[in-house]
Structure formats: structure tokens, C-alpha cells
Structure 1
Amino acid sequence: MSDNNVFNMDEHRKNINPSKLIKSALLIIALLLIIGGIFSSIFVVKEGEYKVVRQFGDVVRIETSPGLNFKIPFIQSITTLPKYQMLYDVNPEEITTKDKKRMTVDNYAVWSVKDPQSMISNARTIENAEAKMGEFIFSVIRSELGQLTYDEIINEEKSSRGSFNNRVRDRVNELLDRDAYGISVTDVRMKRTDLPDANEKSVFQRMISERESKAQEYLSQGDAESDRIKAETDKEVATILAKADADAQEIVAEGEAEAAKIYNEAFSQDPEFYELYRTLKSYRTTLNDETVIMLPSDSPYAQLLQGISE
């Protein structure tokens, strides 16, 4: 570098005013602070959420409509609350039914924040609101199920259960409104009902005994019905056979009468031939190789056998 250039740079440094540099730096910092303040004062409210504006920890306003909004930078802060419906899984608890049976019920609830100001004032956080809602749900369910028997609870087809879920929902909302928690329950549903571990084995054994007793009752009814059917069948068979036997005897009697009539008509035409026929027939019946007949010698039958004619 030439000596002239070095000399010019030195002269330029001498002409720079330090105060101007400081002012420029301060101006730049101020602009940055202004820009940062503008951006930090803007916040966006989205669909399905509440924006809570706090100042030194106190709630000054709550924005509910979607869009751009402003706050005082560095003084006011923003927190968010859900506006959409949420699902809360209620912890399983044991209850006692109307017929003194212990059972474990597991429920869930669909809920939402309807008044964020009241919710913040009384519950403060979402977790606290859910805890309080869970207490109310269990209390109401225990009271409602305590008026039903075990069979009515586990069998939805039985009319006694009716609008159980609706009754629980309405009663829980009444309690939440009473204490101004700013939340609302849309629905309460029972996921499942279980027996406590300590009672499960004994209940199952009792159920088995009841089923066996019922099965034996059905078997006894079946045996009684079978005996009744057999008795009726035997009676019908005996009636049919007796009628058939009577009909057969009547037919035989009629046949014998008709035969006797025919015999009488035939033999009356020649009595001597009929007498001979009866004699010959008696020979066939009475005489064989071992027959011994003792007759008087003057008996016509003896004379006939000996070939002696009168």
C-alpha cells in the first residue's frame, strides 16, 4: 500500500465522530425493541381454544373468537385452554349393588370447558377440574347403581336400568354448576363392570351351582314329559289293540255263525249222511294206535266197529 493511501485512511478515522456511532447504535436497538414489542404484542386465537390474557398473574380478559389479538408486551402473558370436547377416563372404583353385591365399575366421560373464567377461578387448572369431575361422577354412579341389582346393571336389556347414563350426566352437571367449576359433561358411559378379585371365585362357583341346579331341573322336567308321553302312547296302543281284538272276535263269531248256518243247511238235506259224517269224524278224533275203548258188546258203536249190522 502506498504512503498516500495510508495517510488518507488515517485522516478518515480522525473525521469519525464517536457520538454519532453511539446514537446510531441506540437507534438500531430502539428499532429492534419496537419491532420485537409489536410482534410480542400480537397473538392468534385458533378454532377450538380459549386464549387467557393475564397481567401479573391475574386474568384481565379471555378471547374466545378466532383471529388476531393484541396484548401489552412484556407485561401481559397468554395461556391457552381447550374449547373442544375432551375425554376423561374415570378411575375404576368398587360399589355395592342393591342386592349387596360388590362390583368394580369403569367409566369414561366426555366434557368441555364452557366458562373459562369460572374454571380458572375455582378449579385453576384442567387437571384439577378433571379430578373434581371424577369425584362427582363416582359419587353419583355409586348412588345410582346402589338402587339397582347386579343383574340389572350388567344386562342392558332389562328396563330397570333405563336412562342410567343420562341421569348420571344430568346430576354431575348439577353439582358442577352448583360449585361454579365452569365445565360441562356431555356424556358418561360405563366401559365395563368386573367382580372384585376377592369375590370373583366365590361368585363364579355360585353361578356354576345355579347353572347345574337349573340343568337338573330341566332334566327332571324332560324325564317327566318323557314318562307322560310314553304313558299316553301305551294307553293309545292298548286301546287300539283292544279294539282290534274285539273287532277280530266279532268277525270270527260272525264267521263261525255263518259256517254253522251253512253246515245246518247242508246237513239238514240228508240227516243220515250227516250222522255218518259225524261218526267218521269222531273216529278220526278218538281212534289211534294207542286208543283203548271199552264198550258194551251190544252198543251200536261197538257193533259198527266190529262190522256187525242189525
Structure 2
Amino acid sequence: MQRFFPALVGLVIVLAVLSSCMFIVRERDSALLFALGEVRETISSPGLYFKYPPPFENVVYLDRRLQTIESRDPERIQTAEKKNLLIDYYVKWRINDPRLYYVTFGSNSNAAIERLQAQIRDALNAAVNVRTVRQVVSSERDTLTDEILSAVSKRAAPLGVDVVDVRLRRIDFTTEISESVYRRMEAERKQEANRLRASGAADSERIRAEADRKQQEILARAYAESQARRGAGDGQAAAIYAESYGKSPEFYSFYKSLDAYRSAFSVHDSTLVLSPDSDFFRFWNNAAGNQPAPAR
């Protein structure tokens, strides 16, 4: 056993030296290979690699995955109207140049996050200070985001960082301007509602006037047509009456008298004050219509 102990110790030492000469780069990492404290190579492809054992060469790993920075507290930023807004944001970024990133920040990711947050605050102030509340909240929000992303990307590139996206997650009003903003919004909504009501009333009057005009035109045409037809009917009736009278004047007089009786006595409790020998009753007791000789 004592004979094999030195050989076993030598084998362990050899294995330790060999293991220190190998390193693995994972898919999510980039590796910086240092030779006597100086960066000799940057490795971004995953795989198994070899190097000299420490202290001749050593390896530092950097995470190259997409990372997120979220604002801890909303940033208080002033608009062009001297009104304060509370803006909450998040940023997506990754290490673009491992060598430059390590030279700037070392392996301390907190330092990189603090530097990026400072740059984002500066870009937010520069973009929001020249805009009104309405522009920041609604009309130019996309343009504002693009300006911030462009500014932060340019300032982060020399640090070895690639800023992928910047988003304004929430924009709130401070307490001192919330009431004034709500009052202004309420006044604008009321003004819009009044405009719509006035427009609707005008349309209603126009539609009603148009309907009345068409109604009068239809009634006028109908009345004219009815009068024309009534006149034609009266003419035909007069012609028929004339023809009938010409054929038998006695029967025509008798028929018209019966029609007069029917009309006169169709109403209950009707009273006529007439002389019995008047012409109205000439067919009452005599079908021939001859009046009796007056009594002496």
C-alpha cells in the first residue's frame, strides 16, 4: 500500500492539473480568457475549451442572456407645463461586447444596472421636459418611447451593452395636478357632449322639416288626385242622372223624393215644420205626385 501511495498522489495531482486546463462555456454565457491578468480571448460559442493552468491563465464568465431593469420607484419628471408626472418603466438589455463590458464594470452587474438607470433617467427628463401632459400621456407616447430608446442605446453602446427595448409601464399624475387634470377632462367631455347634442338637434330639425315637406307634398298630390277623381265621378253621375231623367222624368222625380224622405227621416226624433200640401209631400199619399185639390 505504501508503494502505491506516491503513485496515487501523483495521479491526483495530474488530474487536478488537467481539470484546471479545461473549461466549459455554456449557451447562456460568454467567457473571457485572461493570461497573466490581460484579456487574451473572448469566447461566445458554447463548448469544451483548453487553457494553461492558473496562475498562467484563468476564465471569467459573463451572462449574455436578455436581462430586465425595472424602476424601483416611479420617476418624478416635470413636463413643459411645469407639472410633475410619476413614470414607471422597464428596460430590456444584454451584454453586447464582453471585453468592453468587463473593462467598464468588471463582473459587477449592479454597477451596470445603476449606470443604465442613470442614463434612462437623463433620457426621460430630456424627452418629457419638452412635452405637455397630453403629449406624454396620449398623443406622442410612442414617439417619446422611441426617443428614449435611441438616446439610451447610443450612450450604452460604448459600455458594451445593447439596450433592446424601453417601455413606459405606467404614467400617473401627482396629487397636486390630478384634480385640475380631471376638471379639464370633464370640461372637455362636456364640451364634446354639447357639440354632439347640438349637431343631433340640428339633424333632428332638418330630418323633421324634410319629413313635413314630403308629407305636405304627398297630401297635396293625394288631395289633387282625389278631387280629380271626385270631379270625374260627379261628372259621370250627372251624366247618368241626366240620362235617367231624360228617359223617365216622372220616375226620376219619384226616386229623388224617396231619397229625400229617407234622408229627412233617418235621424230619430226629427221634426219638420211643413205644410201638408207642400211640394215636399207630393209623393207622400199619391204615387203619381198629383196634389189634391185644396179644401174649401
TM range (shorter): 0.5 to 0.7
Q: Report what 1:233 is aligned to.
A: 211
Matched letter for residue 88 of structure 2: D
Give the gaps of 5 or more residues in structure 1. Answer: 1-26, 296-303
Q: Report what 2:274 is aligned to.
A: 291
Distance 1:134 1:290, change over 3 A: same
Q: Report what 1:215 is aligned to.
A: 193
Alpha carbons 2:156, 2:163 under 8 Å: kept? no
Distance 1:261 1:164, change over 3 A: same
Q: Report what 1:184 is aligned to.
A: 161
The superposition leaves residues 100-146 of structure 1 with CA deviations (integer Å, 9 ceiling, x where unpaired) of: 66433333223233344443444443222221122222322333345
Q: Alignment length, in residue pairs?
A: 261
- 1:68-83 map, 5 Å: 68-73=50-55, 79-83=60-64
Q: Is 2:27 the counterpart of 1:44? A: no
Matched letter for residue 226 of structure 1: S
Cα distance, 1:84 vs structure 2: 3.4
Alpha carbons 2:30, 2:98 under 8 Å: kept? no
Q: Report what 1:257 is aligned to.
A: 235
Which structure has the larger Rg over C-alpha atoms?
Answer: 1
Q: Report what 2:92 is aligned to.
A: 110
- State the identity %: 20
Q: Report what 2:148 is aligned to.
A: 168
| CA distance in structure 1 between the partners assigned to 2:181 and 2:35 by the alignment | 57
Matched letter for residue 155 of structure 2: L
CA RMSD of aligned residues (A): 4.5
Q: Report what 2:285 is aligned to.
A: none
| CA distance in structure 2 between the partners assigned to 1:43 and 1:137 by the alignment | 40
Distance 1:82 1:229, change over 3 A: same
TM-score, normalising length: structure 2: 0.64
Distance 1:277 1:38, change over 3 A: closer
| CA distance in structure 1 between the partners assigned to 2:255 and 2:12 by the alignment | 158
Give the gaps of 5 or more residues in structure 2. Answer: 1-5, 265-270, 279-289
TM-score, normalising length: structure 1: 0.62
Cα distance, 1:190 vs structure 2: 0.9
- 1:1-310 map, 5 Å: 38=17, 42=21, 44-47=23-26, 48-51=29-32, 53=34, 59-61=37-39, 63-65=41-43, 67-73=49-55, 79-91=60-72, 92-97=74-79, 102-124=84-106, 125-146=108-129, 153-154=136-137, 165=145, 167-177=147-157, 180-181=158-159, 183-198=160-175, 199-268=177-246, 273=250, 289-291=272-274, 307=293
